[in-house]
């Protein structure tokens, strides 16, 4: 019989998978970036293969031997051994053995001592990878897919689910992006001058989209994917700390992420259903994140630059500064949306502005604002258009019209928690309509 003091209990497979995914998300970008520098950008696939095999080893061994005391150090050691095996087998890489031993030992020291991201130079590898993924020769949808794959450790299936397309389509995007990097001989470096500016905007846009997908998932069972939000915050923090990314718009984007991310835990109820802003318990908002967000918002004001990230962060700051929903400075938010439309005249921004219009001038004004949205046809399959119209109609007791809009929204929504929310709204309206029919005439 095994000695219970020397044989640790086997963790549940589900628990192991969650732990592996957590540490893999955190370590994957660092590993791929470092190995890509060693192998060369033209051998990015080799770097990814090593990291993927490391994940597979963890999933195979941790359920039987238990989760290591230091999972990050375990992952680093296995990745180092696999990379050395590859180098020793392939004569193309034989001159790289000393380099990989040196760099991987630096990563091991960081994993063991919990060193800061800037102490070993490893952070620069991740920055180089960010700017490589966001090269102007690569189309934006390819940039996002490549960044999610290489920096965040996401599988093609996960990326496809996030962006409402097929796994095959994502695999093609990734292949094309890597091919363009090889064909154009894109340097694995942080550019300077005008080239830095062009690529920095792509990097920021990619990380903005990554955060948004986590804050409000486009599909799947979960409305919020907090790990995406935290990964985006980590990468933007890394960027803002570096001289290449220490720009007002980078601090503004970081402020936006922190101020919105502070509300994540309050956005769902105990059953995982969405809570609107007015329903959230503000005591659950992360005050430390709010303070960090306000700090970076101040940092973003240095110089004369104003970007859409500045305006969005200022809107988020208005919400965080209000002690309760009734105290929200909606006139200020509306004025910020008015300025934001000059940077981004997309129908989605215009729809958000209509919500602020309704808060300031009433639901009828909100409906009129929606009717005036340019290119509104682009919102035809966007369920929030109909949910917003349904909300406005319900506020002026147009219950039948409101119910019709909520039914249309339900036809389009794919997130289960939002389906539950819309179903409750629709049932309440139907009950009101039934009560109205039963009421005696005057």
pLDDT digits (tens, 9 = 90+) for 291-338: 999 999 999 999 888 999 999 999 999 999 999 999 999 999 999 999
Question: In the chain, what is the greatest distance between 2 CA atoms, to the nearest angstrom?
Answer: 93
Question: Which pLDDT score, from 0 to 100, does residue 43 have?
Answer: 82
Q: How far is 67 from 15, CA to CA, in rounded Å? A: 10
What pLDDT band is residue 441 in, cutting at 50, 70 and 90? low
Question: Which pLDDT score, from 0 to 100, does residue 5 have?
Answer: 43
Q: What are the sequence ranges of the domains in the chain?
A: 10-113, 122-246, 247-266+282-328, 381-436
Average pLDDT over residues 140-165: 78
User: 123: Cβ–Cβ under 8 A, 6 or more apart, which residues?
Assistant: 117, 238, 241, 242
Question: Which pLDDT score, from 0 to 100, does residue 299 have?
Answer: 95
Q: How far is 297 from 125, CA to CA, in rounded Å? A: 27
Q: Which pTM does this prediction carry?
A: 0.78
* Dihedral of alpha carbons 375, 376, 381, 382, sign: positive
Q: How far is 257 from 80, CA to CA, in rounded Å? A: 33
Out of 10-19, 74-83, 106-115, least confident range: 106-115
Average pLDDT over residues 220-238: 82
Question: Which pLDDT score, from 0 to 100, does residue 254 have?
Answer: 98
On the question of pLDDT at 168 being above 80, the answer is yes
Question: Which pLDDT score, from 0 to 100, does residue 27 have?
Answer: 77
Average pLDDT over residues 187-211: 83
Range of 62-66, 255-259, 373-377 with top mean pLDDT: 255-259
Q: How far is 35 from 83, CA to CA, in rounded Å? A: 8
Question: Which pLDDT score, from 0 to 100, does residue 437 have?
Answer: 61
pLDDT digits (tens, 9 = 90+) for 346-383: 889 999 999 999 999 999 999 999 999 988 888 888 89
On the question of pLDDT at 23 being above 80, the answer is no
């Amino acid at each position: 019989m095994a000695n219970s003091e020397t044989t640790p209990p086997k963790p549940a497979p589900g628990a192991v998978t969650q732990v592996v995914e957590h540490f893999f998300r955190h370590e994957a970008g660092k590993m791929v970036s470092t190995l890509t520098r060693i192998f060369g950008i033209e051998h990015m696939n080799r770097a990814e293969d090593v990291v993927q095999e490391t994940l597979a080893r963890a999933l195979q061994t941790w359920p039987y031997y238990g989760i290591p005391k230091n999972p990050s150090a375990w992952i680093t050691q296995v990745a180092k051994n696999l990379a050395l095996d590859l180098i020793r087998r392939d004569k193309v890489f034989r001159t790289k053995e000393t380099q990989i031993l040196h760099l991987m030992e630096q990563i091991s020291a960081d994993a063991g001592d919990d060193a800061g991201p800037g102490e070993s130079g490893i952070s620069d590898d991740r920055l180089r990878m960010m700017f490589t993924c966001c090269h102007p020769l690569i189309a934006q949808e390819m940039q996002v897919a490549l960044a999610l794959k290489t920096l965040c450790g996401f599988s093609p299936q996960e990326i496809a689910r996030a962006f409402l397309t097929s796994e095959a389509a994502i695999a093609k995007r990734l292949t094309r992006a890597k091919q363009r990097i090889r064909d154009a001989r894109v340097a694995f470096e942080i550019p300077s001058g005008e080239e830095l500016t062009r690529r920095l905007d792509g990097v920021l846009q990619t990380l903005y989209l990554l955060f948004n997908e986590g804050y409000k998932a486009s599909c799947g069972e979960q409305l919020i994917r907090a790990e995406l939000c935290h990964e985006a915050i980590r990468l933007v923090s890394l960027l803002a700390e570096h001289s290449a990314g220490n720009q007002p718009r980078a601090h503004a984007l970081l402020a936006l992420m922190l101020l919105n991310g502070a509300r994540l835990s309050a956005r769902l109820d105990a059953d995982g259903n969405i809570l609107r802003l007015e329903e959230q318990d503000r005591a659950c908002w992360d005050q430390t994140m709010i303070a960090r967000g306000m700090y970076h918002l101040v940092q973003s004001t240095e110089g004369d630059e104003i970007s859409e990230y500045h305006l969005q962060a200022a809107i988020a700051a208005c919400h965080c500064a209000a002690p309760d929903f009734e105290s929200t400075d909606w006139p200020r938010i509306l004025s910020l949306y008015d300025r934001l439309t000059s940077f981004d005249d997309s129908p989605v921004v215009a729809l958000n502005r209509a919500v602020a219009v309704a808060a300031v001038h009433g639901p009828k004004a909100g409906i009129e604002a929606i009717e005036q949205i340019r290119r509104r046809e682009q919102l035809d399959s966007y369920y929030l258009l109909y949910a917003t119209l349904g909300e406005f109609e319900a506020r002026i007791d147009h219950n039948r019209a409101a119910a019709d809009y909520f039914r249309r929204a339900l036809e389009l929504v794919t997130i289960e928690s939002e389906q539950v929310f819309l179903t409750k709204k629709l049932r309440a309206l139907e009950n009101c309509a039934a009560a109205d029919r039963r009421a005696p005439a005057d």
